[in-house]
Amino acid sequence: MKKKYQIKGMTCEGCRSGVENILNAIPDVTSAKVNLENNEAVIAFKKQLNIEVFKKAVPDKYTITEKEFDNNNLSVISDHLTKDKSELQQLYPLFLIFGYITIASVLLNYNPWRTDDFMLDFMGLFYVVFSFFKLLDLKGFPESFRMYDPVAKVLPTYGLVYPFIEVGLGLMFLMRFKINIALGVTILVLGVTTIGVTKALIDKKSIQCACLGTALKLPMTKATFIENTIMLVMAIWMFIKIYS
């Protein structure tokens, strides 16, 4: 079952993504698509939900009202709300950034080849680049991040400081400063986030990935899990090597 709602109070893309993530996190909601331009949302759910459920879920600054919904026009509305993109096309920015980071790390260490330095440069560039996109919308990022990160759900302030943690870790790796501490924090931080990503994938929640902030709309997919896993494997490998 799907219904159409009007949501007032959204002023930016961060608001839109935040409301969409909140709606998607509601039990029995299978998908929610929010359109900022029209201040509308199309919500699909397993069973009929009272509008009061949505009103209680979204922050007080937003008002949500039910609109008449013509099921015959469902496909038209869905196409209007979201572009018909394949998963590969949606993840193209993520793959492109990963490619640039990988190539840059290889060029920095290819002659002579230094595997350890390659991994340190990769992790450093990863953090610096990804934190840049998060800082573009520091208000919207925490809303998206808390949809799947266990710590951000309990401690909202964590979402605000997380981009700065990434900046610090990135500089530590690139400057080869206190590498053991940077690796330990990376294992802890990404380990927790990966648990949240895994749970979101298992629950098949249709939420936005906050790895590149809210500037780029990326769906939560296996690619997000792989991205975190690559960083975790590198960090664990280097950490073991330092203390072995």
Amino acid at 232: L
User: What mean pLDDT comes out for the span 80-95?
Assistant: 65
Q: Domain boundary residue among 21, 49, 81?
A: 81
Number of domains in the chain: 2
- Does residue 84 carry a pLDDT above 50? no
pLDDT at position 237, please?
Answer: 95
Which residue, among 220, 215, 159, has the nearest Cα to 16 in the 3D structure? 215
The answer to whether residues 70 and 94 belong to one domain is no
pLDDT at position 102, please?
Answer: 95
The answer to whether residues 65 and 139 belong to one domain is no
150: cis peptide before it, omega within 30°? no
- Does residue 104 carry a pLDDT above 80? yes
pLDDT at position 62, please?
Answer: 87
User: What mean pLDDT comes out for the span 143-162?
Assistant: 89
pLDDT level of residue 77 (50, 70, 90 thresholds): very low
Q: Which of 82-96, 182-196, 208-222 has the lowest average pLDDT?
A: 82-96
The answer to whether residues 106 and 6 belong to one domain is no
pLDDT at position 167, please?
Answer: 96
pTM beyond 0.75: the answer is: no
Q: Domain boundary residue among 81, 111, 141?
A: 81
pLDDT at position 219, please?
Answer: 72
Q: Which residues contact 131 (CB under 8 A, 6 or more apart)?
A: 163, 164, 166, 167, 170
* Block residue for tokens 């690796």: 183
The answer to whether residues 156 and 180 belong to one domain is yes
- Does residue 40 carry a pLDDT above 60? yes
**CATH number of the domain residue 15 falls in:** 3.30.70.100
- Does residue 70 carry a pLDDT above 90? no
The answer to whether residues 136 and 154 belong to one domain is yes
Q: Which of 4-13, 33-42, 71-80 has the lowest average pLDDT?
A: 71-80
pLDDT level of residue 192 (50, 70, 90 thresholds): very high
Which residue, among 163, 156, 181, 205, has the nearest Cα to 44 in the 3D structure? 205
**How far is 227 from 32, CA to CA, in rounded Å?**
25
Q: Which residues contact 150 (CB under 8 A, 6 or more apart)?
A: 192, 195, 196
**Per-chain mean pLDDT for the chain:** 84
Q: What is the 3-state secondary structure (H, E, C) of 140-180?
A: HHHHHHCCCCHHHHHCHHHHHHHHHHHHHHHHHHHHCCCHH
Q: Which parts of the chain fold into alpha helices (H)?
A: 13-24, 51-57, 74-81, 87-90, 92-109, 115-135, 140-145, 150-154, 156-175, 179-202, 222-243
The answer to whether residues 199 and 230 belong to one domain is yes
The answer to whether residues 47 and 134 belong to one domain is no
185 touches 169 (CB < 8 A): yes
The answer to whether residues 94 and 13 belong to one domain is no
Phi, psi of 177 (to 5 degrees): -105, 120
**Parent domain of 174:** 87-243
